[in-house]
Amino acid sequence: MGSKRRIGIMGGTFDPIHYGHLVTAEAARHLFGLEQVIFVPSGRPPHKRESRVTPADERLQMTLLATVNNDNFIVSDREVRSKRMSYTYDTMRSFHQELGDEAELFFITGADAVLEIMQWRKIEEVADFCCFIAATRPGYRLESFHLSPKLAENIQFMEVPALAISSSDIRRRVAAGEPIKYLLPEPVEKYIAKHGLYLAQDGCGSNFAEESVVK
Protein backbone atom coordinates (compact mmCIF):
# COMPACT_ATOMS: atom_id res chain seq x y z
CA MET A 1 0.00 0.00 0.00
CA GLY A 2 1.31 3.47 -0.86
CA SER A 3 1.95 6.26 1.59
CA LYS A 4 -0.86 8.46 2.80
CA ARG A 5 -1.77 11.69 1.04
CA ARG A 6 -0.76 14.69 3.11
CA ILE A 7 -3.35 17.47 2.94
CA GLY A 8 -3.19 20.90 4.56
CA ILE A 9 -6.36 22.65 5.72
CA MET A 10 -6.13 26.40 6.26
CA GLY A 11 -9.18 27.91 7.90
CA GLY A 12 -9.67 31.61 8.37
CA THR A 13 -11.93 34.60 8.10
CA PHE A 14 -9.70 35.89 5.27
CA ASP A 15 -11.08 39.39 5.68
CA PRO A 16 -9.18 40.00 3.47
CA ILE A 17 -6.77 37.24 2.49
CA HIS A 18 -3.21 38.56 2.12
CA TYR A 19 0.36 37.49 1.38
CA GLY A 20 0.90 36.37 4.98
CA HIS A 21 -1.74 33.67 4.48
CA LEU A 22 -0.35 32.65 1.09
CA VAL A 23 3.29 32.53 2.20
CA THR A 24 2.29 30.49 5.24
CA ALA A 25 0.35 27.99 3.12
CA GLU A 26 3.18 27.59 0.62
CA ALA A 27 5.81 27.26 3.36
CA ALA A 28 3.75 24.56 5.09
CA ARG A 29 3.20 22.76 1.80
CA HIS A 30 6.94 22.66 1.13
CA LEU A 31 8.18 21.94 4.66
CA PHE A 32 5.69 19.19 5.46
CA GLY A 33 5.42 17.68 1.98
CA LEU A 34 1.73 18.49 1.55
CA GLU A 35 0.06 17.43 -1.68
CA GLN A 36 -2.20 20.47 -1.54
CA VAL A 37 -3.51 23.14 0.80
CA ILE A 38 -7.27 23.67 1.03
CA PHE A 39 -8.36 27.17 2.06
CA VAL A 40 -11.64 27.21 4.01
CA PRO A 41 -13.13 30.69 4.47
CA SER A 42 -15.25 30.68 7.61
CA GLY A 43 -18.98 31.12 7.24
CA ARG A 44 -20.15 32.23 10.68
CA PRO A 45 -17.07 32.54 12.92
CA PRO A 46 -18.24 32.11 16.54
CA HIS A 47 -15.40 34.23 17.94
CA LYS A 48 -16.56 37.28 15.94
CA ARG A 49 -20.21 37.48 16.93
CA GLU A 50 -19.71 41.01 18.25
CA SER A 51 -17.51 42.17 15.36
CA ARG A 52 -18.28 43.32 11.86
CA VAL A 53 -17.32 40.68 9.30
CA THR A 54 -17.47 41.06 5.51
CA PRO A 55 -20.18 38.82 3.96
CA ALA A 56 -18.94 35.28 3.46
CA ASP A 57 -19.52 35.26 -0.31
CA GLU A 58 -17.19 38.24 -0.75
CA ARG A 59 -14.50 36.71 1.45
CA LEU A 60 -14.82 33.50 -0.56
CA GLN A 61 -14.43 35.40 -3.83
CA MET A 62 -11.30 37.19 -2.60
CA THR A 63 -9.82 33.84 -1.52
CA LEU A 64 -10.50 32.38 -4.97
CA LEU A 65 -8.85 35.38 -6.65
CA ALA A 66 -5.78 35.11 -4.42
CA THR A 67 -5.18 31.39 -4.99
CA VAL A 68 -6.17 30.87 -8.64
CA ASN A 69 -2.58 30.92 -9.92
CA ASN A 70 -1.32 28.17 -7.60
CA ASP A 71 -2.27 24.65 -8.69
CA ASN A 72 -1.46 23.37 -5.20
CA PHE A 73 -4.07 25.60 -3.58
CA ILE A 74 -7.78 24.73 -3.49
CA VAL A 75 -10.65 26.73 -2.01
CA SER A 76 -13.55 25.02 -0.24
CA ASP A 77 -16.90 26.73 0.29
CA ARG A 78 -18.19 24.15 2.79
CA GLU A 79 -18.34 26.62 5.69
CA VAL A 80 -19.75 29.42 3.55
CA ARG A 81 -22.57 27.10 2.43
CA SER A 82 -23.27 25.88 5.95
CA LYS A 83 -25.93 27.55 8.08
CA ARG A 84 -24.16 26.50 11.28
CA MET A 85 -21.42 28.23 13.25
CA SER A 86 -17.95 27.50 11.88
CA TYR A 87 -16.18 25.19 14.32
CA THR A 88 -12.77 23.59 13.72
CA TYR A 89 -14.04 20.26 15.02
CA ASP A 90 -16.95 20.04 12.58
CA THR A 91 -14.86 21.14 9.61
CA MET A 92 -11.94 18.81 10.24
CA ARG A 93 -14.26 15.90 10.97
CA SER A 94 -16.01 16.47 7.63
CA PHE A 95 -12.68 16.45 5.78
CA HIS A 96 -11.64 13.31 7.63
CA GLN A 97 -14.89 11.57 6.70
CA GLU A 98 -14.60 12.70 3.07
CA LEU A 99 -10.92 11.86 2.51
CA GLY A 100 -10.78 8.76 4.70
CA ASP A 101 -7.90 7.16 6.55
CA GLU A 102 -5.70 7.24 3.45
CA ALA A 103 -5.23 11.00 3.94
CA GLU A 104 -3.14 12.60 6.69
CA LEU A 105 -4.60 15.99 7.60
CA PHE A 106 -2.69 19.06 8.82
CA PHE A 107 -4.56 22.06 10.20
CA ILE A 108 -2.55 25.24 9.54
CA THR A 109 -3.01 28.12 11.95
CA GLY A 110 -1.11 30.91 13.68
CA ALA A 111 0.91 30.38 16.84
CA ASP A 112 -1.06 33.06 18.68
CA ALA A 113 -4.15 30.91 18.16
CA VAL A 114 -2.45 27.93 19.74
CA LEU A 115 -2.24 29.89 22.99
CA GLU A 116 -6.04 29.67 23.10
CA ILE A 117 -6.30 26.19 21.65
CA MET A 118 -7.48 24.59 24.88
CA GLN A 119 -10.65 26.69 24.59
CA TRP A 120 -11.52 25.36 21.15
CA ARG A 121 -14.57 23.14 20.86
CA LYS A 122 -13.71 19.43 21.27
CA ILE A 123 -10.05 20.19 20.63
CA GLU A 124 -8.81 16.91 22.07
CA GLU A 125 -11.02 15.07 19.58
CA VAL A 126 -9.76 17.22 16.70
CA ALA A 127 -6.27 15.93 17.49
CA ASP A 128 -7.52 12.39 16.87
CA PHE A 129 -7.70 12.97 13.12
CA CYS A 130 -5.27 15.79 12.32
CA CYS A 131 -1.96 17.38 13.22
CA PHE A 132 -1.47 21.12 13.77
CA ILE A 133 1.03 23.37 12.03
CA ALA A 134 1.47 26.61 13.97
CA ALA A 135 3.04 29.47 12.02
CA THR A 136 5.18 31.86 14.07
CA ARG A 137 7.09 35.05 13.43
CA PRO A 138 10.91 34.79 13.66
CA GLY A 139 11.95 35.17 17.28
CA TYR A 140 8.51 34.22 18.61
CA ARG A 141 8.84 32.99 22.20
CA LEU A 142 7.23 29.61 22.87
CA GLU A 143 7.69 29.49 26.65
CA SER A 144 4.08 30.53 27.27
CA PHE A 145 2.59 27.45 25.63
CA HIS A 146 0.82 25.18 28.12
CA LEU A 147 -0.84 22.31 26.27
CA SER A 148 -2.05 18.87 27.18
CA PRO A 149 0.41 16.06 26.37
CA LYS A 150 -1.85 14.87 23.54
CA LEU A 151 -1.96 18.28 21.87
CA ALA A 152 1.74 18.94 22.43
CA GLU A 153 2.54 15.79 20.46
CA ASN A 154 0.37 16.93 17.56
CA ILE A 155 1.67 20.50 17.07
CA GLN A 156 4.67 21.51 14.97
CA PHE A 157 5.93 25.08 14.67
CA MET A 158 7.11 26.88 11.56
CA GLU A 159 8.65 30.36 11.24
CA VAL A 160 7.08 32.63 8.60
CA PRO A 161 8.44 36.21 8.27
CA ALA A 162 5.39 37.41 6.30
CA LEU A 163 3.16 37.03 9.36
CA ALA A 164 3.91 40.66 10.14
CA ILE A 165 1.10 41.37 7.65
CA SER A 166 -2.40 41.22 9.14
CA SER A 167 -5.96 41.49 7.84
CA SER A 168 -6.88 43.93 10.59
CA ASP A 169 -4.10 46.31 9.54
CA ILE A 170 -5.17 46.09 5.90
CA ARG A 171 -8.75 46.98 6.88
CA ARG A 172 -7.44 49.89 8.94
CA ARG A 173 -5.31 51.11 6.03
CA VAL A 174 -8.23 51.05 3.61
CA ALA A 175 -10.44 52.95 6.05
CA ALA A 176 -7.68 55.54 6.54
CA GLY A 177 -7.00 55.90 2.82
CA GLU A 178 -3.50 54.39 3.14
CA PRO A 179 -1.93 52.13 0.47
CA ILE A 180 -2.27 48.35 0.69
CA LYS A 181 -0.33 47.50 -2.49
CA TYR A 182 2.17 44.65 -2.06
CA LEU A 183 0.43 43.46 1.11
CA LEU A 184 -1.98 41.24 -0.82
CA PRO A 185 -2.49 40.00 -4.40
CA GLU A 186 -3.42 42.67 -6.93
CA PRO A 187 -6.74 40.99 -7.90
CA VAL A 188 -7.80 41.13 -4.23
CA GLU A 189 -6.73 44.76 -3.98
CA LYS A 190 -8.84 45.58 -7.05
CA TYR A 191 -11.82 43.62 -5.67
CA ILE A 192 -11.70 45.60 -2.43
CA ALA A 193 -11.63 48.90 -4.35
CA LYS A 194 -14.36 47.88 -6.78
CA HIS A 195 -16.76 46.78 -4.05
CA GLY A 196 -15.88 49.54 -1.58
CA LEU A 197 -14.91 47.15 1.20
CA TYR A 198 -13.50 48.37 4.53
CA LEU A 199 -14.19 52.06 3.88
CA ALA A 200 -15.95 52.47 7.24
CA GLN A 201 -14.40 50.21 9.86
CA ASP A 202 -14.89 50.16 13.61
CA GLY A 203 -11.45 48.71 14.26
CA CYS A 204 -12.80 45.35 15.40
CA GLY A 205 -11.52 42.04 14.16
CA SER A 206 -8.41 39.93 14.49
CA ASN A 207 -5.46 39.10 12.31
CA PHE A 208 -4.26 35.76 11.02
CA ALA A 209 -3.35 34.60 14.49
CA GLU A 210 -6.77 32.94 14.71
CA GLU A 211 -9.12 33.99 11.99
CA SER A 212 -10.08 30.41 11.76
CA VAL A 213 -12.94 28.15 12.65
CA VAL A 214 -12.55 28.10 16.44
CA LYS A 215 -14.18 27.16 19.73
CA-to-CA dists, residue 203 to 169, 174, 184, angstroms: 9, 11, 19
What is residue 137's predicted lDDT score, i.e. its pLDDT? 79
pLDDT over 70 at 207, yes or no = no
Domain total of the chain = 1
Average pLDDT over residues 8-36: 96
What is residue 118's predicted lDDT score, i.e. its pLDDT? 66
What pTM, to 2 d.p., does this model score?
0.88
Angle, helices 56-67/186-195, rounded to nearest 10 degrees: 150
pLDDT, one tens digit per residue, over 148-181 is: 788 888 989 898 877 789 999 999 999 999 999 9
- Does 215 map to a domain? no
pLDDT over 80 at 185, yes or no = yes
What is residue 145's predicted lDDT score, i.e. its pLDDT? 66
What is residue 208's predicted lDDT score, i.e. its pLDDT? 40
Q: Report whether 185 contacts 19 (CB < 8 A).
A: yes
Confidence of residue 49 (pLDDT cuts 50, 70, 90): low
Residues 195 and 142: their CA atoms lie apart, in Å, by 40
Q: Report whether 156 contacts 131 (CB < 8 A).
A: yes
Look over the chain and give the mean of its residue pLDDT values, rounded to a whole number: 86
Report which DSSP code applies to 199. Answer: S
The residue range of the domain holding 195 is 5-210
Which position has the higher pLDDT, 90 or 213? Answer: 90
Average pLDDT over residues 103-119: 82
pLDDT over 90 at 140, yes or no = no
What is residue 193's predicted lDDT score, i.e. its pLDDT? 98
What is residue 93's predicted lDDT score, i.e. its pLDDT? 94
CATH, residue 55? 3.40.50.620
